[in-house]
Structure 1
């Protein structure tokens, strides 16, 4: 009896700490950058809570290209259809430098075209390479609090089964 009361109290306290956002918090949207043969060369993840008044995402959670973490942004804009998150990004435009300030990447992707194009420069402005790219299918990851609630429910069921 005492164990179930302690479990209920700890679940209540932990859930109040883990859920400072609303229950309908947006997921993290992730898509990979692909060459024409399907080989991945980068990844972009955005938190769909970070939208502006026009429905654009102006910052990223994770942005990597060719093994380099992107740090500095001169331009970053991602758009998606909130009615169809599984479709992924509908538009992407970026002008960014990697965190080590070795390379600059400029690119765009439009779902209407089905492909994007990227230019790669050294940070002193020397052109290095250019080419088309594609985006993978979208991966949506829900907020960690949702996972915590699922684990708490499973723990509660296991505790109830053990007592019964």
Structure 2
């Protein structure tokens, strides 16, 4: 009985204390690149803490196109509305190469048009393909502190169930 009271009080106390924020404390916004038929061909994830003084994000957490991980960037700018994160990206522009340095991708997307356009080249400059695309729904992964609190709650439930 005393152990459960101490556990409850310590859990309450720890949940009331502000946790130190790590470098990954902000939500991660992710959106998929979609063909006209709705099938996915890529994904872009950004950390909402990596914003510059102009309100743009200049680096990504995860960027994949056609199963290839994007590595090198010559141009990368993403914009979003901080008052409506569920709306996702409002604008982005990119000129990037994949990690294997086989393909180069240039493209843009603007929420006002509702679709984007992308060119695909070999890294030696040979044109391969071009086309339009749309974006899927934006998903947000919350801060790691929330995950830590959920793990602590699950641990408490497991201890309670064990008795």
Total equivalences in the alignment:
157
Q: In the TM superposition, what is the alpha-carbon distance from 1:55 to its structure 2 partner?
A: 1.0
| Inter-partner Cα distance in structure 2 for 1:157 and 1:67 | 40
Question: Any idea what the Cα deviations from partners look like across 1:5-47, whole Å, max 9, x if unmatched?
Answer: 689889x99xx9xx4317xx42000000000000100000000
- Partner of 1:140, secondary structure, is strand
Unaligned runs of 5+ in 2: none
Q: Which residue of 2 aligns with 1:111?
A: 111
What does residue 129 of structure 1 align with?
129
Distance 1:8 1:67 in 2: 48
SS at match of 1:101: coil
Task: Tell me what 2:39 maps to.
Answer: 39
Q: Which structure 2 residues correspond to residues 10-159 of structure 1 after superposition, within 5 A?
A: 19-21=19-21, 25-159=25-159
1:33-71 alpha-carbon deviations (Å, 9 max, x no partner):
000000100000000010001111110000000010000
Once residues 114 and 155 of structure 1 are traced to their aligned partners in structure 2, the CA distance between those partners, rounded to angstroms, is 44
The CA deviation string for residues 131-158 of structure 1, in whole angstroms up to 9 with x for no partner, is 0010000011112221111221343355
Distance in 1 (CA, whole Å) between partners of 2:160 and 2:9 is 12
> What is the distance in 2 between the residues matched to 1:7 and 1:96?
51
Deviates more, 1:141-150 or 1:34-43: 141-150
Q: CA RMSD in A?
A: 2.7
